[in-house]
Copies of this chain bind each other. A is one copy, B any other.
Amino acid sequence: MRSLHDISGVTTFALVGRFNTVRRNLFPMANRDIVIDPGAFVDRGDLARRTEQTVLENSNVTETLEAASSPLVFISSNRSWSDEYLAGLSQRDWVTTTGAGYDAFPLDQFRERDVRFTNQPGNNAPQVAEHAIAMLLSITRRLFQFRTQQQHREWKRISEGMTHHSGDVCCVVGLGHIGEAIAKRLGAFGMTVRGVKRSASNYSGNADSVYPPTSLHDALSEAGVVMLSVPLTDETHHMIGKSELDQTRSDAVIVNVGRGPVLETEAIVAAIEDRSVRAACLDVTDPEPLPSDSPLWTYENIFITAHSASRSDKRTGQFLDEFLPAFERWCTSDQLEHRIV
């Protein structure tokens, strides 16, 4: 790969179009290129300010990857990644996604090419946890009914269906950064938090107790709240179906902020229909986008938020808070945290 030109001592890329890239000169001995996927939520202005670099634009991702000197870091996202970009990547390049999920990335091909891949598991955790709890409470505090009353200028106290979670059991399926952030918050709500985690031994997190996936039914038993925060893998595909939903309390609220296919759509619709659960709050669905003829749209007790749990105006700053020290470590010692490949 050819190196890009330097202008008056400051390393910049003279590129045009909708594609952003920056070269960082804070670690002159490293002198590594940063390439940004235009679909990734990264604040170019903030990156420029914090790296003291000019951020310029380009229109073609693969071309820019090819033009940057290797090893480069490519900041992409699960939503915007395209396998076309593979052609621009070579040995020792580092691809990072701005979020926790990474099912859109071709991990096998990264392995074949000796491309490193990391996610940012903690990056979106605070807002996803807040979103999950917001969805939960919208049901149990009956917010939509109050909003409808407000639209009719109707002052009517509501008792039916109003409950609270203090003293109840929550099962958090998946104790990554998002699951831990949920567990911490619901613990402060006075809930007993059970977690489900692949490596359940030697656990020291925010859940009160941890169950391995083989004990999933026990973990769900009599739960009043179920939070799904697992990535999509062969093991988690349809992990929650009829027999799992049968374990919970009949007034349980199921919240999915992981990936849609973790929860079997037919099973949750049936559970809502026969009232073996109270409600389902789905930030993620199977498939996405959810087709307009899906039955999920139509239930009063299903709430859909179109895969927006990680959205926040603070998000780009969060990414940079994590990324800049990680970039420094990579430049100086070639070490990568949160490495998937």
* Interface residues in chain A, defined as those with a beta carbon under 8 Å from any beta carbon in chain B: 126-127, 130-131, 133-135, 137-138, 140-141, 143-144, 146-147, 149-150, 153-159, 161-167, 184-185, 187-190, 288-290, 292, 294, 297, 303-308, 311-314
Contacts and interface: CB of A to CB of B under 8 A. Distances in A.
Q: Main SS of chain A's interface residues?
A: loop
B134 A308 contact: no
Nearest to A187: B188
A154 B296 CA distance: 12
A155 B312 contact: no
Contacts of A130: 137, 140-141, 164-166, 189
Contacts of A167: 126, 314
Contacts of A159: 308, 311, 313
A307 B157 contact: yes
Nearest to A147: B144
A167 to B, nearest CB: 7
A156 B307 CA distance: 9
Nearest to A162: B311
Contacts of A156: 306
Contacts of A187: 188
A141 B150 contact: no
Contacts of A138: 134, 138, 143
A28 B134 CA distance: 49
Nearest to A141: B134
Nearest to A139: B134
B134 A306 contact: no
Contacts of A127: 162-164, 166
Contacts of A134: 134, 137-138, 140-141, 143
Given A126-B164, A162-B311, A288-B155, A149 B306 contact: yes
Contact of A314 (B146, B164, B288, B313): B164
Contacts of A189: 126, 130, 185
Contacts of A141: 130-131, 134-135, 305
